[in-house]
Chain A
Amino acid sequence: MNNSKPNKFWGFALKEFRHIFRDKRTLLIIFGMPIAELLIFGYVVTNEIKDANIAILDKSGDYLSQKLTSKLASSGYFIPTTYLYSENEIEPVLRSGKAKMVVVYEPNFAEKFFREKNAAIQIITDASEPNTASLLANYAGSIINSFASENGANELRSSPIDIRVRMLYNSELKSVFMFVPGTMALILMLLTAMMTAISIAREKELGTMEVLLVSPLKPSHIVLGKVLPYVGLAFINALVILFLGYTVFDLPMRGSLALLLLVSFVFIILALSLGIFISTVSKTQQVAMFFSMIGLMLPTMLLSGFIFPIENMPLVLQWLSALMPPRWFISAIKTIMIKGEGIAYVWKEMLIMIGMIVFFLTLSIKKFKVRLS
Chain B
Amino acid sequence: MEKKEIIIEVENLVKKFGQFVANDNLTFKVFKGEIFGFLGANGAGKTTAIRILSGLLEPTSGKISVAGYNAYSQRDLIKANIGYMSQKFSLYDDLTVRENIRFFGGIYGLYGKILKARIDELLSDLKMTEFKDDLISSLPLGWKQRLSFSIAMIHKPVIIFLDEPTGGVDPITRRSFWEMIHSVANQGTTVFVTTHYMDEAEYCDRVTIMVDGRIEALDSPANLKKTFNANSMDEVFVMLARKAKSA
A208 and B90 contact, Cβ closer than 8 Å, known pairs A11-B103, A214-B84? yes
Query: Contacts A4-B111, A8-B109 hold; do A210 and B99 have CB atoms under 8 A apart?
Result: no
Give which listed residue, A1, A8, A19, A23, contacts B106 with CB less than 8 A: A8
Chain B residues in 8 Å Cβ range of A14: 103
Chain A residues near B106: list those with CB within 8 A. Answer: 7-8, 11-12
Chain A residues with CB under 8 A of B152? 211
Nearest chain A CB to B129's CB is how many angstroms away? 21
Q: Which of A206, A217, A373 contacts B92 (CB 8 A)?
A: A206
Task: Specify which of B88, B107, B108, B109 lies most central, judged by the most chain A CB atoms within 10 Å of its CB.
Answer: B107
Flag if A15 contacts B109 (CB, 8 Å). Answer: no
**A236 contacts chain B at the CB level, 8 A cutoff:** no
A213 vs B84: C-alpha distance when bound (angstroms): 10
**Contact across chains for B109 and A213 when beta carbons are under 8 A apart:** no
Distance of A18 Cα from B92 Cα, bound (Å): 11
A372–B107 Cα distance when bound, in Å, is 20
Among B58, B79, B161, contact of A215 (Cβ-Cβ < 8 Å): B79
A6's nearest neighbour on chain B, judged by CB, is B111
Judged by DSSP, the binding face of A is helix
CA distance A206 to B82 in the complex (A): 21
A216 touching B56 by the CB < 8 A rule? no
A15-B86 in contact (CB<8A): no
Which chain B residues lie closer than 8 Å to A7 at the CB level? 106, 109, 111
Chain B residues whose CB sits within 8 angstroms of the CB of A214 once the complex forms: 54-56, 79, 82, 84, 161
Within A199-215, the residues touching B (CB, 8 Å) are: 206-208, 210-215
Q: For residues 75 through 112 of chain B, which have their beta carbon under 8 Å from a beta carbon of chain A?
A: 76, 79-80, 82, 84-95, 99, 102-104, 106-111
CB-CB contacts of A46-88 with B at 8 A, as 1s and 0s? 0000000000000000000000000000000000000000000
Supposing A11-B103, A216-B79 touch, asked if A208 and B87 sit within 8 A by C-beta, the answer is no
Residue of B nearest to A21 (CB): B94
Instruction: Give the contacting residue for A372; candidates B56, B87, B93; CB below 8 A.
Output: B56
Q: Which residues of chain A are within 8 angstroms of B93 by Cβ–Cβ distance? A: 206
**B95 lies within 8 A of A211 (CB):** no
**Is A11 within 8 A of B102, CB to CB?**
yes
Contacts of A211 in B (CB 8 A): 84-86, 90, 104, 152
- When the two chains form their complex, are residues A210 and B94 in contact, meaning their CB atoms are under 8 A apart? no
Contact with B along A109-151 (1 / 0, CB 8 A): 0000000000000000000000000000000000000000000
- 0 or 1 for each of B198-218: is its CB under 8 Å from A? (1 = yes): 000000000000000000000
Query: Closest B-chain residue to A26, C-beta based?
Result: B94
With an 8 A cutoff between CB atoms, is A22 at the interface?
Answer: yes
Chain B contacts with A in 36-65, Cβ cutoff 8 A:
54-58
Whether A207 and B99, one on each chain, are in contact in the complex, defined by CB atoms closer than 8 angstroms, is no
Q: How far is the CA of A217 from the CA of B80 in the complex (A)?
A: 9
Interface bin, chain B: 20 to 34
**Contact present for B57 and A373 (CB under 8 Å):** yes
Supposing A18-B99, A211-B84 touch, asked if A12 and B107 sit within 8 A by C-beta, the answer is yes
Shortest A61–chain B CB gap in Å is: 74
B55: A residues at CB distance < 8 A? 214
Most buried by B among A3, A22, A206, A214: A214
Distance in angstroms between the alpha carbons of A98 and B152 in the assembled complex: 72
CA–CA, A210 and B85, complex, Å: 9
Q: With A15-B95, A208-B92 given, is the CB distance from A217 to B107 under 8 Å?
A: yes
Nearest CB of B to A229, in Å: 14
Q: Which residues of A contact B90 (CB under 8 A)?
A: 206-208, 210-211
Point out the residue from A208, A213, A216, A373 that lies within 8 Å of B80, measured CB to CB. A216
Chain B residues with CB under 8 A of A208: 90-92
Q: How far is the CA of A373 from the CA of B18 in the complex (A)?
A: 11
When the two chains form their complex, are residues A215 and B92 in contact, meaning their CB atoms are under 8 A apart? no
Q: Are B58 and A372 within 8 A (Cβ)?
A: yes
**Bound-state Cα–Cα, A213 to B90, Å:** 12
| B79 lies within 8 A of A15 (CB) | no
Contacts of B107 in A (CB 8 A): 8, 11-12, 212, 215-217
- Distance in Å from the Cβ of A2 to the closest Cβ of chain B? 10
Q: Which residue of A lies closest to B100 (CB)?
A: A15
Residues of A within 8 A of B95 (CB): 15, 18-19, 22
In this complex, the member of B76, B89, B90 whose beta carbon has the largest number of chain A beta carbons within 10 angstroms is: B90
Given that A1-B109, A214-B54, A372-B56 are known contacts, is A207 also in contact with B92, CB under 8 Å in the complex?
no
Q: Are B58 and A207 in contact (CB under 8 A)?
A: no
Q: Nearest CB to that of B81 among chain A residues?
A: A216
Please name the residue on chain A nearest to B85 by beta carbon.
A211
Q: Which residues of the partner chain B approach A12 to less than 8 Å between Cβ atoms?
A: 103, 106-107
The A204-246 residues at the B interface (CB cut-off 8 A) are 206-208, 210-217
B-contacting residues, A141-172, CB 8 Å: none
Q: What are 6 A-B pairs with beta-carbon distances under 8 A?
A: A8-B109, A18-B95, A208-B92, A210-B56, A211-B85, A211-B90
Contacts A11-B106, A211-B86 aside, 17 further interface pairs with beta carbons under 8 A come to: A3-B111, A4-B110, A7-B106, A7-B109, A11-B107, A15-B95, A15-B99, A15-B103, A18-B95, A19-B94, A206-B90, A208-B91, A212-B107, A214-B84, A214-B161, A215-B107, A372-B56
Interface set of B (CB-CB < 8 Å, partner A): 54-58, 76, 79-80, 82, 84-95, 99, 102-104, 106-111, 152, 161
